Structure 1
């Protein structure tokens, strides 16, 4: 498996920033919360305990991406480990990209009144110009962190 160290580095920085946002909001920070819009913003203003717990857990889950990318930096003796890391990284990249892409698409459709979302224009602009592209960029970093396919040798 070939590794793209630039993409791994960008992915790690992206992941830390992404997790830090969740931790910041979990601690009561409000910068950027309005840009999410809808019920998320409303909950951020007066967060119930369950919302704060979800934010902390979300930040921790996001840090698993940092662990995944860090594992790519190691040389593994067993090819199966490299193979699993290759496919997991590719799948995570695809999921991140398409999550952002699908949100971008649905928010855009809501602006043409095809779908109905409860988002003010401020949040719509932030979601279309920052948040959803941010997800997609993260997906690109993960997906291109590893190149080529891996060979699985089952012999000892």
Structure 2
């Protein structure tokens, strides 16, 4: 019987570990580019960002360092969701808020890349010609990568919630995180930022 519980417990932790690996791996390019590396820049990100990276623009460098740090925080969040000893009530709420927020935001953002790429390839949407060479990267690499990270965080949040004795407040925090991420995405989309 104990062996079954241990096996079930291990299976329940894989999404948290997957989210952690996703966050840590995704931080590597940000830090690499912030340190001046250029491999992969030209073929995988927009030409405007490539030029800023080449010029070592201070604003661009700050964005790269901040996004790299946020990705590391995402990795730490994944690890926090698989902790075997129970967290306090407030921390469980915060973990659910952050995990659902990150999961929904990442999945939505990735889905936008995929849908836009497929619409362009189908001839239903036009984009500037200088963006066409990197379209495949956004459609088939970055989009699915963001969606996979989003799914990992949502699954990790669900697995974590099953370990929490009182589900009510953490569940509400998760809903707030997910809806907040959707609202943020909608505002970014309407303002042309995202």
Instruction: Report the TM-score range of the alignment, normalised by the length of the smaller protein.
Output: 0.7 to 0.9
1:146 pairs, out of 153, 157, 160, with: 157
Q: TM-score, normalised by structure 1?
A: 0.82
Give the direction of change, closer, same or farther, for the CA distance of 1:45–1:118 in structure 2 (3 Å limit).
Answer: farther
Give the aligned partner of residue 103 of structure 1: 113
Give the direction of change, closer, same or farther, for the CA distance of 1:76–1:118 in structure 2 (3 Å limit).
Answer: farther
Instruction: Map 1:5-154 to 2 at 5 A.
Output: 5-34=13-42, 35-74=44-83, 75-76=85-86, 78-111=88-121, 112=123, 114-147=125-158, 151-152=167-168
Query: Which structure 1 residue ranges, 4+ long, deviate > 4 Å from structure 2?
Result: none
Counterpart Cα distance in 1 of 2:58 and 2:108: 30
- For 1:67, what is the secondary structure of its paired residue? helix
Gaps spanning 5+ residues in structure 1: where? none
| 8 Å contact kept, 2:17–2:79 | no
Give the direction of change, closer, same or farther, for the CA distance of 1:77–1:5 in structure 2 (3 Å limit).
Answer: closer
Answer 1 or 2: higher relative contact order, Cα 8 Å, separation at least 6: 1
Q: CA RMSD in A?
A: 2.4
CA shift for structure 1 position 96 = 0.5
Give the direction of change, closer, same or farther, for the CA distance of 1:43–1:113 in structure 2 (3 Å limit).
Answer: farther
The number of aligned residues is: 152
Q: TM-score, normalised by structure 2?
A: 0.68
Give the aligned partner of residue 3 of structure 2: none
